[in-house]
Structure 1
Amino acid sequence: MIPLYLITGFLGAGKTTFLKELITLFRNKRLALIINEFGKESIDGVFFKDKGAALSEISNGSIFCSCKLDQFEQVLKNIAQKKPDVIIIEASGLSNPQNVHRILGQPDFSTLDYKGSICLVDALNFHKVLYTALACKQQLSVADMIIINKTDLVTQESLNQTKALLGEIRPGIPAYTTSYGRIEKEWILYLKSGKDNNDKPLRQVADITLQKFLLDVTSVCSMELLREFISLIAKDTYRIKGFVNKGGQNWFVDCVGENIKITPYHGTADKLNRLVVLSGSGLPTRKSIISAIEKLNLSEDVLLK
C-alpha cells in the first residue's frame, strides 16, 4: 500500500511552506507530489522542481470539483502505477475536499493507503476567513489533524481563542501549533490508515463566490511602485502571489490580506511579472485594481482580461 497524505488550508495558511518541511521527513523515500492551484497560473510548483520528487501540477480549479476531477483521477492513477513510496497532495486553498473518501475509495485506488487530511490554519486570519469563506469550514470538516500556523504573529490570548473555537468545530481532532510551517515527525505518526469513508455524496458545482484576476506588472517600473500598487488593492483580496523581476533581481510576491511579503527569489520561474489575485465575490477587487492603476498612472494592460 502507498501512503497518501492530503494537505489543505485556506488561502495564505502556509501550505506550501509546510509542505517544504513535510517532505524533509521523507528524504530517503521516492516521493510523488500533486500541487493544485485554483488560479490559471501555476506558482507553488516552482518551489518543488528541484526537490527530487515526481511533481504533477493541476491548475485553474479545484481537484475535488467536477471541472478538474477527471484530470485529478487520471493523474493519481498514473502516479499509483509508478508505485512511489509516498504520495502527498497539496489542495487548492479554495477547495472543498468533502468527497475525498469517496474518490479514494474507488477500485482504481485500491493500492493507496489514505492516511488523512492535515488542515493548516492561519492563526492571524482564521476568525476572518472562518465566517467569510465556506471552503474554510469544508476543509476543517474532513480534517484528521489541524496545524495552527503563524502563531508568532498573534498574542497568546488570540491563540487560545483560536484553539477553543477549533475545539468546538472539530472536537477530538488533534490541533498542534507552529510557526513557519515547522513540523514534528511525531505529528505525522499520529495519522493512521483506515479512516471513516462514509462521507455523504455532495453535489459538485462551480463556486460562484470567488473571483480570479491575472495582473501583468511588466510595465510597473520599480519595486517601490509595485509595493505601492499592491498595498492599494490588498485589502480587497484574499491572496496575491507571483514572481516578478525588478531591478535585475527576481522576487516572490506573497500577500495574504494586507500582510504583504516581497522576498528575493534565486530560482527560476516560467512566467515573470505575473500576479494571481484571488478574492471573494463580495469584495470590490476589480474596482480597486482599476482605481490603483489610475492613481499610479499605470498602463491599462496591467489588468489582463
Structure 2
Amino acid sequence: MTRLYLVTGFLGAGKTTFLKNLVRCFPGQRVALIINEFGREGVDGALLSDLGVTLSEIDNGSIFCACRLEQFEDTLQGTLEQEPDVILVEASGLSDPTSVGRILGQREKFANLYYAGAICLVDAARFHKVYATARVCKLQLAVADLILINKTDLATTAQIARIREEVEAQRPGRPVYETSFGALDPAWLFSMSPSGPGSPSGIHTRDITLQKLTLSVGRGFTPASLEKFLAMFAEDTYRIKGFVPLSGQIYLADCVGPLVRLEPWQGDAVNPGRLTVLFGNGLPARKSIETAISWYPECEVTVE
C-alpha cells in the first residue's frame, strides 16, 4: 500500500523548502513527487531535481480543477504503477484542495493508495494579508490534518500567537506546530489523523479572483537593475518566479510579496527569460508593471 501526503500552502509559504526536508523523513523508502504549479513555467521541479526521487510535474493550473484533474489522475496512476512506498504531492499555492478525499477515494482507480493526510504550511510573515484577500487560504486550511506555521523567524511572538489562535479556530483538534525554514520533526507526521473530506460541489472550476501573467525578459538588464525593476511591483503580487539569463549567468528570481530574491542558479533552468507573475483582484499588479516597464525603456520586457 502506497502512502500519499498532500502538501498545501499559499504562494510563498515555503512548500519547496519543506518538501526537501519531508523527503528525508523516509530513509530507505522509495519516494515519488508530483509537483503542481499554477503558472505555465514550471520552476519547482528544477529546484527539487537533485533529491534523487521520481518526479512528475503538472503546470498551468490546479490539479484539483477541471482543467488539470484528468492529467493529475493519469499521473497518479502512472506513479502508482512504479510501486513507490510514499507519494508526496505538492499542490499549487492557488489550489482549492477540498475535493481531495473524493478524488483519492476512487478505489477503482487507486486501490493500492492510502491517503495519509494533508499538511498545510502557513506563512507567519504574510498570513493575515493573504488570508484576507485569497479565499483558497481558508480552503487549504479546511482540509489540513497537520498545520505548520512556517517562517516564524520573520514574525513576532504576538503575531504567531494570533495566527495560531485563528488556524486552531478554523481547524479545531488538528495539530499545529511552529517552525522556520520548513524544518519538521518526523514525529509530527504520526500526529496526523486524516479525515479526507470531500467537496459537496464536486469538480472545481477556476477561481476568477486569481490572475496570472508572464513577463518575457530580454536584453538590457543587469542583476542589480532587474532586482530594482521587480521591486517596483512585487508588493502588488502574490508571487513572481522564474529563471532569467543575465550577464552570461542564469539567475533564479523568486519573489514573495515585497521580498525580492535574485540569485545565481547552477542547475537546470526551465524556459529562461520568462517569469510567472501571480496576483489577485484588488492588487494593481498590471498597472504597477506598466509603470516599471516605462522606467526601463532600454530593457527588453513584454507582458503576455
Give the TM-score band, short-chain normalised.
Answer: over 0.9
Deviations 1:50-98 (A, max 9, x none): 2211111000000000000011001111111221111000000000000
The alpha carbon displacement at 1:249 in A equals 2.9
The alpha carbon displacement at 1:200 in A equals 2.6
The alpha carbon displacement at 1:145 in A equals 0.6
Deviations 1:13-70 (A, max 9, x none): 0000100111111232111110000000100000222221111100000000000001
Deviations 1:106-125 (A, max 9, x none): 02112101000000000000
Query: In 2, Cα distance between the equivalents of 1:210 and 1:198?
Result: 23
Q: Which amino acid aligns with 1:243?
A: F
The alpha carbon displacement at 1:238 in A equals 0.5
Residue 302 of structure 1 pairs with residue 292 of structure 2: no
Deviations 1:109-168 (A, max 9, x none): 121010000000000000111111011000000000100000000111111111111121
2:175–2:191 contact (8 Å) kept in structure 1 = no
1:289–1:303 contact (8 Å) kept in structure 2 = no
2:42–2:270 contact (8 Å) kept in structure 1 = no
5+ residue gaps, structure 2, are: none
Residue 165 of structure 1 pairs with residue 190 of structure 2: no
The alpha carbon displacement at 1:199 in A equals 4.5
Any residues of structure 2 matched to 1:1-305 within 5 Å, and which? 1-107=1-107, 108-192=109-193, 195-197=195-197, 199-202=199-202, 204-299=204-299, 302-305=301-304
Secondary structure in 2 matching 1:277: strand
Query: In 2, Cα distance between the equivalents of 1:196 and 1:73?
Result: 17
Change (3 A) 1:196 1:213: closer
1:213–1:303 contact (8 Å) kept in structure 2 = no
Change (3 A) 1:260 1:214: same
Q: Which amino acid aligns with 2:302?
A: L
Q: Which amino acid aligns with 2:67?
A: C
5+ residue gaps, structure 1, are: none
Q: Which amino acid aligns with 1:40?
A: R
Secondary structure in 2 matching 1:208: coil
Change (3 A) 1:150 1:247: same
Secondary structure in 1 matching 2:25: helix
Which of the two has greater helix per residue? 1
RMSD of aligned alpha carbons: 1.5
Q: Give me the identity figure in percent.
A: 50
Query: In 1, Cα distance between the equivalents of 2:27 and 2:218?
Result: 38
Secondary structure in 2 matching 1:187: helix
Query: In 2, Cα distance between the equivalents of 1:95 and 1:298?
Result: 37
